[in-house]
């Protein structure tokens, strides 16, 4: 039997190694846990990650089927300014009703004023233009030359009968109504104007005051409206209503008043211009 000579070499028979030969071998580098080169543990192909199984963090894991129906979420009640919509709507509705009532009163007053304006326009149409107090005309028969004469008319300032009519009573008529007015010569009421119109005479100006009273009384409204209790009349301005522009915004000769206290003498108001007044006798 052949013996293996290498297996029985004694230490003394191992060939010596020089220091130079040992230096040619590199010493393996030691890895520490704090080193970036520390090797990561590698799991085998069939090894399962128990951490993923326990925590369920794996993306491949299926979640157990949920057999419970989710109850619908109760809708949140909407609120406006800290209150429910129904309460807010009720508050707004009550506010609108209050504002509408206030506006309705104002509108009623405006409508009443518009009706007064319309009634006064009708009154102006009833009084019509001034009627000439004197008219002269002359006509000639046609001649061979075909000439003809023209007609001429003269209009005078309406008379008041003052001072003889001062302190007398005029009975005004308006439809089925009548009322007495005291006539005052050379007197004027400053302010308290209701309406300004043109009338052909002192008497028709007084009648207009009574007609306005009847119209205001017929209005069905809760708005309190002042009544006509007097007037001031300038006869000359019946012919020249434009003269009133220096004192009033609209031309006219008759001013209907809702107060007649503190009458002034006409000569101090417009020197050289006749002015008369009348006051309702109640």
- Residue 156: pLDDT band with limits 50, 70, 90: confident
Q: Given a cut of 70, is residue 152 above it in pLDDT?
A: no
Three-state SS annotation for the chain: CCCCCHHHCCHHHCCCCCHHHHHCCCCCCCCCCCCCCCCCCCCCCCCCCHHHHHHCCCCCCCCCCCCCCCCCCCCCCCEECCEEHHHHHHHHHHHHHHHHHHHHHHHHHHHHHHHHHHHHHHHHHHHCCCCCCEEECCCCCCCCCCCCCCCEEECCCCCCCCCCCCCCEEEEEECCEEEEEEEECCEECCCCEEEEECCCCHHHHHHHHHHHHHHHHHCCCCCCCCCCCEEEECCHHHHCHHHHHHCCCCCCCEEEECCCCCCEEHHHHCCCCCCEEEEECC
Q: Given a cut of 50, is residue 178 above it in pLDDT?
A: yes
pLDDT at position 149: 37
Q: Given a cut of 90, is residue 185 above it in pLDDT?
A: yes
pLDDT at position 224: 84
Q: Which of 71-85, 131-145, 157-171 has the lowest mean pLDDT?
A: 131-145
pLDDT tens digits for range 84-106: 666 666 666 666 666 555 555 55
pLDDT at position 207: 96
pLDDT at position 175: 87
Q: Given a cut of 70, is residue 170 above it in pLDDT?
A: yes
pLDDT at position 260: 97
Considering only residues 92 and 189, tell me which one the structure prediction assigns the higher pLDDT.
189
Contact 234, 200 (CB under 8 A): no
- Residue 270: pLDDT band with limits 50, 70, 90: confident
How far is residue 255's CA from residue 237's CA, in Å, rounded to a whole number?
A: 11
pLDDT at position 27: 55
pLDDT tens digits for range 194-235: 988 989 999 999 999 999 999 999 987 878 889 999 999 999
Q: Which of 190, 188, 195 is nearest to 249 (CA)?
A: 195
pLDDT tens digits for range 28-84: 555 555 545 445 544 444 444 444 444 444 445 555 555 555 555 555 566 656 656
% of the chain at pLDDT higher than 70: 43
pLDDT at position 223: 81
The model's pTM: 0.48
Considering only residues 107 and 279, tell me which one the structure prediction assigns the higher pLDDT.
279
């Amino acid at each position: 039997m052949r013996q293996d000579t290498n297996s029985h070499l004694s230490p003394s028979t191992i060939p010596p190694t020089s220091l130079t030969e040992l230096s040619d071998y590199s010493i393996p580098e030691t890895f520490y846990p704090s080193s970036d080169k520390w090797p990561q543990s590698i799991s085998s192909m069939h090894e399962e990650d128990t951490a993923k199984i326990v925590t369920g963090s794996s993306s491949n894991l299926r979640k157990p089927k949920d057999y419970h129906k989710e109850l619908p979420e109760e809708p949140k009640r909407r609120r406006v300014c800290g209150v429910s919509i129904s309460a807010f709507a009720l508050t707004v509705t009550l506010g609108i009703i209050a504002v509408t009532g206030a506006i309705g009163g104002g509108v009623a007053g405006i409508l009443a004023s518009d009706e007064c304006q319309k009634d006064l326009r009708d009154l102006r149409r009833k009084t019509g233009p001034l009627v000439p107090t004197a008219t002269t005309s002359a006509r000639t028969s046609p001649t061979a030359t075909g000439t003809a004469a023209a007609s001429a008319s003269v209009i005078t300032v309406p008379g008041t009968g003052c001072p003889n009519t001062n302190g007398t009573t005029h009975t005004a008529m308006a439809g089925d109504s009548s009322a007495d007015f005291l006539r005052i010569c050379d007197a004027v009421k400053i302010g308290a104007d209701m309406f300004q119109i043109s009338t052909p005479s002192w008497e028709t100006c007084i009648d207009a005051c009574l007609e306005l009273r009847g119209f205001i009384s017929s209005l069905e409204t809760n708005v309190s409206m002042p009544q006509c209790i007097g007037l001031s009349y300038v006869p000359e301005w019946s012919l020249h209503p434009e003269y009133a522009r220096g004192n009033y915004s609209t031309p006219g000769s008759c001013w209907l008043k809702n107060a007649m206290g503190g009458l002034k003498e006409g000569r101090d108001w417009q020197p050289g211009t006749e002015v008369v007044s009348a006051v309702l006798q109640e």
